Homo-oligomer: A and B are copies of this chain.
């Protein structure tokens, strides 16, 4: 089956690079798509991303000093402005030619800093998916987290687009009686893949039960996730009284943003937002602890063990996996992404990449 391999990255796309709060006046080095990037905030509060490699002797600029909005290399003192232009050479009267470094377009949205690794001329914040529940809204409580997974990002996307695994791997997220009683729906529309799981008449999960204030309630539960290429996933989990309208019950929305660090490592940013008991700090803390336990102690070891069994990369296809019904969404996503990467490769002049 094609579409199982992703050895290249899609370049002309937005990737989550950091949570808003991570970017400060202290330069931060982060490997993104095998490339070292330094992130900081300029004096006006806007985030800046430059290649984290001085043009001179290739020292990381993240080890340097921010002087106003200029980043000075900590090794020999070249200075760069927010656009990556070399603006100061302390060792001679002239700025040498070709001393500029790459600056990356950024967008600040939904609590995250998004980076565009491809052609800057094509970067457009309007291309960000609509994740508006993560825009600041009164009456909502939003929380964030981060983990790092030693596996290819496609394995993380596979994990999320097939949420049948929740019933086996995550006791706190599992609905009692859902296995064998779930309607599974996969929709592909405009390059976005939706995977919806409807679980009528089940015992709602500990997570939903606690948010709802009704532990062990019987109701109709659902988990509806959608994937926007390359690495953005929006998940809505919720429950209502049996037969009631989805709007009536409890809803918890998650963002999952698995950004490739390299072919074998993934930055995994997440956020959760809810309108139920937004001021209940104990509930917020419990959601944080429960989610971190699930992601770091249940998902992470499983995905890393899966990667170990696969060997480097994520080339499932060559191992001839058995496909089950819930694989439809991850396989669609892999195919779409493979096609986008192939199209980009065909379209780009070789020099740009």
Contact = CB atoms under 8 A, between A and B. Distances in A.
Number of this chain's copies in the complex: 3
Contacts of A323: 96
Interface string A86-118: 100111100011110000000000000000000
A321 B57 contact: yes
B91 A306 contact: no
Nearest to A99: B322
B90 A179 contact: yes
B309 A59 contact: yes
A353 interface: no
A73 B302 CA distance: 11
A309 B53 contact: yes
A321 B55 contact: yes
A77 B179 contact: yes
B91 A326 contact: yes
A165 interface: yes
Contacts of A162: 76
A306 B57 CA distance: 8
Nearest to A184: B91
A40 B196 CA distance: 36
Contact of A59 (B57, B58, B86, B306): B306
A-side binding surface: helix, strand, loop or mixed? loop
Interface in A26-65: 36, 52-53, 55-60, 63
A289 interface: no
A305 interface: yes
A20 interface: no
A247 interface: no
Given A57-B321, A58-B321, A76 B326 contact: yes
Given A58-B310, A75-B168, 6 more contacts: A56-B327, A58-B306, A60-B305, A73-B168, A76-B326, A98-B320
Given A75-B165, A168-B75, A324-B92, A305 B179 contact: no
Contact of A89 (B75, B165, B324): B324
Contacts of A128: none
A154 to B, nearest CB: 11
